[in-house]
Amino acid sequence: MRPLGLFRRCTSNFKLLLWVCLACMLSATASGLAAEVKVGKVESHPASGGDATIISLKGAILRDDPAKLEQALKPLLNDHHDSSDLRGHIILDLSSEGQDYYAGLALATIVKKFKITTYVSDSSKCQSACALVFMAGRTISTFGSAIEPDRVLHVGGTLHFHAPFDPWDKERKFAAGVKAIRQLQIVLGEALPTDLLIAMLAAGPSEHVSVDTVYDAANWNIDLVGYREPKIGREELLNACTNHRSFRLKQATGPIMGERAYDHYDPDYREDFFLTDSEGEAVVDSKGNSIRRKNYQLYDEGSEDLLNLREATNFPNLLRLVDWEGGNTATSFAFEAGDTPDAFRCTALKVMGRSEVYVLSGRNIDLSKLQRALTAFWRENQVFQGKLPPSVPGWFLFPPGFRIVETKEIASTTKK
């Protein structure tokens, strides 16, 4: 089994390869057209949820491009009182196969400084140095309490992290590799997750690390747009709960109470249930767990097994799909932890017309009261107990191993 992102080559001198592989990114810049940096019009954009000025950067990234971006930003900075925070105002639309490593880091520094949203659009490709610029996208949280990543990938776009190397090429300098790693850490820091960095550096000359699945995007804190929303049922709301706990709370869920015994019902259910690589080997997460690419199968509503489970746990809403007028939908779930049954409960609620899913932990959540409070908030601008409950993006409704290209909106006219 292969850990996702903890790639494929582990040797006794792995640390040396770590330095060497990124040092190769410093090789002489190949000939090619420099990137075009262009300021577009103000328009509604899926990466911002509102109006924004779009700056496009397309083509090879070369050493003059950071100056081009700064020049493009100058007139825009004058339009904002707080020039250090352009969240929701400026989106950097990226389409580049990279090229100059240090020029990419210089661009990333500018993006971080002004808290600019980064975006890869449908059918665009962003790789190598461009991908590092993408990861620099960030903003201030809604309540102004923290800096948060703000990088958005359209599910029809391509994002590749690439660090080619040849460990036998004596022209590659160890000191240059050390310098490159140090500069990367200074510029991106926590914006580049550790397991992604290791994966990027371990990839061979013809290999790349891609954002292919819901797991990749959620684990590396990349937002997705352009997806089709699945039909909402208990299984999809369960995905929202488990993804929230795994990727936002960084906690394990434990076995699900009410999962159907697949071998008694559908012998083909577990076929392709877990994510595999191109060689058919299971892909696992950083903790060695297989990554699920299908929905769980749950006890049927009205089944004796489910009725007995509700009675045994004193949990009448367990796995009950509640639909309200207007399309609002909710279900509650329970999970085991070790020898303790019913150790963790989660309720997921989807409000019609909202892209996010609300996720709450607790044992005695009144679903009807929750629905009324949320409806009042959105329709009448009332406050739900002082603040909104936690939410996750709509693409958390998919299983973590689901490939993001499969979520693409066929007629992508609705912006998520």
pLDDT digits (tens, 9 = 90+) for 56-110: 999 999 999 999 999 999 888 765 545 555 555 789 999 999 989 899 999 999 9
Instruction: Tell me the residue ranges of DSSP E strands in 97-239.
Output: 117-120, 125-127, 138-140, 147-149, 151-154, 158-161, 209-210, 223-225
Same domain, yes or no: 176 and 249: no
Same domain, yes or no: 107 and 141: yes
pLDDT higher than 60, residue 24: no
Confidence bin at 173 (pLDDT 50/70/90): low
Determine which of 23-27, 95-99, 169-173 has the lowest per-residue pLDDT on average.
Answer: 23-27
Q: Is the residue at 283 inside a domain?
A: no
Q: Which domain holds residue 129?
A: 2-225
Determine which of 199-208, 252-261, 315-324 has the lowest per-residue pLDDT on average.
Answer: 199-208
Same domain, yes or no: 200 and 239: no
The number of distinct structural domains making up the chain is 2
Percent with pLDDT over 70 in the chain: 72
* Tally of helices (H runs) and strands (E runs) in the chain: 11, 18
Nearest of 196, 81, 106 to residue 149 by alpha carbon: 196
pLDDT at residue 380, as a whole number? 53
Q: Is the residue at 340 inside a domain?
A: yes
Contact by Cβ (8 Å): 236, 295: yes
Same domain, yes or no: 247 and 203: no
Same domain, yes or no: 88 and 13: yes
Choose the final residue of a domain: 177, 199, 225.
225
Q: What share of the chain is helix, strand, coil (3-state, %, to 5)?
A: 30, 25, 45
Q: Is the residue at 415 inside a domain?
A: no
Confidence bin at 342 (pLDDT 50/70/90): low
Choose the final residue of a domain: 225, 250, 282.
225
Q: Is the residue at 384 inside a domain?
A: yes
- Edge-to-edge order in the sheet of strand 36-45: 36-45, 50-58, 90-95, 117-120, 151-154, 223-225
Confidence bin at 151 (pLDDT 50/70/90): very high
Same domain, yes or no: 107 and 162: yes
* Distance of alpha carbon 85 from alpha carbon 144, whole angstroms: 11
Same domain, yes or no: 220 and 254: no
Confidence bin at 137 (pLDDT 50/70/90): very high
Strands 50-58 and 36-45: antiparallel
Same domain, yes or no: 139 and 60: yes
Q: Is the residue at 267 inside a domain?
A: no
CA torsion sign for 102, 104, 110, 114 is negative
Same domain, yes or no: 52 and 82: yes
Section 11-29 average pLDDT:
42
The CATH number assigned to the domain holding 90 equals 3.90.226.10
Same domain, yes or no: 213 and 99: yes
The per-residue pLDDT of the chain, averaged, comes to 79
* Distance of alpha carbon 329 from alpha carbon 187, whole angstroms: 43
Strands 125-127 and 158-161: parallel
pLDDT at residue 262, as a whole number? 61
Q: Is the residue at 105 inside a domain?
A: yes
Q: What is the pLDDT of residues 260-309, one digit of tens each?
A: 876 545 555 566 888 888 788 888 887 778 899 999 999 999 999 999 99
Q: Is the residue at 194 inside a domain?
A: yes
pTM for the full predicted model: 0.83
Q: Is the residue at 409 inside a domain?
A: no
Same domain, yes or no: 115 and 47: yes
Same domain, yes or no: 37 and 107: yes
* Distance of alpha carbon 364 from alpha carbon 212, whole angstroms: 37
CA distances from residue 29 to 98, 115, 175, 394 in whole angstroms, order as listed: 10, 28, 19, 41
